[in-house]
Structure 1
């Protein structure tokens, strides 16, 4: 008779907030953590405006990641005040916080984010944007990490390259034990709790920032005017909100080429994500002062 008891690893499930100042690579990190692109990425700061739940599930854990806007200390208006409120709200009720900074660069803006973090939730220091040169200088890199760790009582620290997907597996393994024992909250094949409408909107916003980021820094947003499915085809109409008439020309481009390029790339991304054919129509709509219109921002879900 065999009296040996089989011990199985308990399943863990919890929420992890990804926070940091603008443009430290939070959205890129989110996409690599879950293995698929759901959060928009751009070299332009402040591209993420909505909390995005990305879900990673394996045999012993489900990690629900909450992407947040970069905490904004400049350009104060109703939009950025609302984005900062989103950051603080995202921290309520999470089990782990990933505080993302850029390798070899720690600023007052990073310190401002640190001041917003909950004191009774484990916080991981995630040092991102490690290139080959920075990785080679291990002594200098370790000294930098040690200096930052003096600023806050971090649970642990991890070095990653979100852009190249390096050490992402290590980060997941590190934070798993900090999550509570729980059954999964979402089906194992689910990668986000966001709707197809929301994801379509985010894809268009990414293309806008990629091609118009320098010309229309924060003067645009998008809203879905129509999203229908018929005979295996998604018909999607998306309005790009700009502040004034002169910005419509910047969006459209000479001979309509810029808007056509944005529309084509967005449609291809949507067809890949939704695994179906997409008819996409993008057009400009002038709504002056939208970034300072609190009621309108609420209607947009910001």
Structure 2
């Protein structure tokens, strides 16, 4: 007689691997709230220039965060603001169009600034994004005591309905990983969208132009930050290796601004060139010869033809 088969003990189901996620996030907020600094912190290297000057960002820069479980592409946009020039109108339009193309939005409000009309205006705009989750990010928490951060979290919470609220300091690194986790959670399932390892899809020539503009912004302080545009005319390794030749032009709007940028006997322009060269060499991993000149493009911020020539498309 055949012995009855004992019922098999069911094996415990192995935990399924979480699905890979990939997609786009963008940071919005008033100018100078730490969007670019936070993106650099998430990516782990400098892909967007930073400055204390408002409206530093002029293009939608994409930084790529590579993880084992996800690929997060962060789009850094110009701050939403009331435009005063044709350039300002195009930057504002760029920021708004980006909002409709991403999977999740990070609304940045600095911890140390009282919530104001600009924040309220942006919150109302974001409330119209019915199908896109918005994460509120209270930035620059390293600059204020914990009690002020707690008060700001309450103030931001009262601005609208947010998918999450996260305090973060890009400078100290506090909760940068939490911001990444929260943003990834809102991405759709899908394969990587960019090859592994690359921190951005920006062409090197454009990154070099931005580094020169950053050095110029630091050099002129409050005197003419929005009047400077930079174009790299030529960039190529010198025959024989070991050196990259870069020829770039800084454009300003008036002869008086040109004099400010150049400085007494060219001192300020030399300082800008030295600072820019240091960052460019770190980016390229090679020694750099930088030929930097200054030209006047009268009222370029208001001239459609000159805006196109300088790379600001409609």
Is 1:286 matched up with 2:296?
yes
2:259 is aligned to 249
1:167 is aligned to 175
Is 1:181 matched up with 2:192?
no
Q: Aligned with 2:216: secondary structure? A: helix
Contact 1:88 1:116 in 2 (8 A): no
**RMSD of the alignment, in Å?**
1.7
Is 1:40 matched up with 2:49?
yes
Unaligned segments of structure 1, at least 5 residues: none
Q: Provide the C-alpha distance between the structure 1 equivalents of 2:257 and 2:125, rounded to a whole number of angstroms.
A: 36
Query: 1:295: how far off?
Result: 2.9
The 1:194–1:132 alpha-carbon spacing in structure 2 relative to 1, beyond 3 Å, is closer
Query: 1:6: how far off?
Result: 4.9
Unaligned segments of structure 2, at least 5 residues: 1-7
Which of 219, 222, 226 in structure 2 is aligned with 1:218?
Answer: 226
Query: 1:255: how far off?
Result: 2.1
Q: Provide the C-alpha distance between the structure 1 equivalents of 2:140 and 2:15, rounded to a whole number of angstroms.
A: 42
Contact 1:73 1:109 in 2 (8 A): no
1:108 is aligned to 117
Contact 2:138 2:152 in 1 (8 A): no
Q: Provide the C-alpha distance between the structure 2 equivalents of 1:73 and 1:132, rounded to a whole number of angstroms.
A: 27
1:124 is aligned to 135
How many residues align structurally?
Answer: 298
Scaled by the length of structure 1, the TM-score of the pair is 0.93
For residues 187-266 of structure 1, what are the structure 2 equivalents within 5 Å?
Answer: 187-230=195-238, 231-266=241-276
Which of 275, 279, 287 in structure 2 is aligned with 1:277?
Answer: 287
Q: Provide the C-alpha distance between the structure 1 equivalents of 2:255 and 2:150, rounded to a whole number of angstroms.
A: 51
Query: 1:132: how far off?
Result: 6.2
The 1:116–1:213 alpha-carbon spacing in structure 2 relative to 1, beyond 3 Å, is farther
Is 1:70 matched up with 2:86?
no
The 1:171–1:229 alpha-carbon spacing in structure 2 relative to 1, beyond 3 Å, is same
Contact 2:297 2:306 in 1 (8 A): no
Q: Provide the C-alpha distance between the structure 1 equivalents of 2:308 and 2:229, rounded to a whole number of angstroms.
A: 13
Query: 1:188: how far off?
Result: 1.7
Which of 23, 27, 49 in structure 1 is aligned with 2:58?
Answer: 49
Scaled by the length of structure 2, the TM-score of the pair is 0.90
Deviations along 1:149-184, one digit per CA (max 9) or x if unpaired, are 222211010001122222101111122211111111
Contact 2:65 2:72 in 1 (8 A): yes
Structure with higher Rg: it is: 2
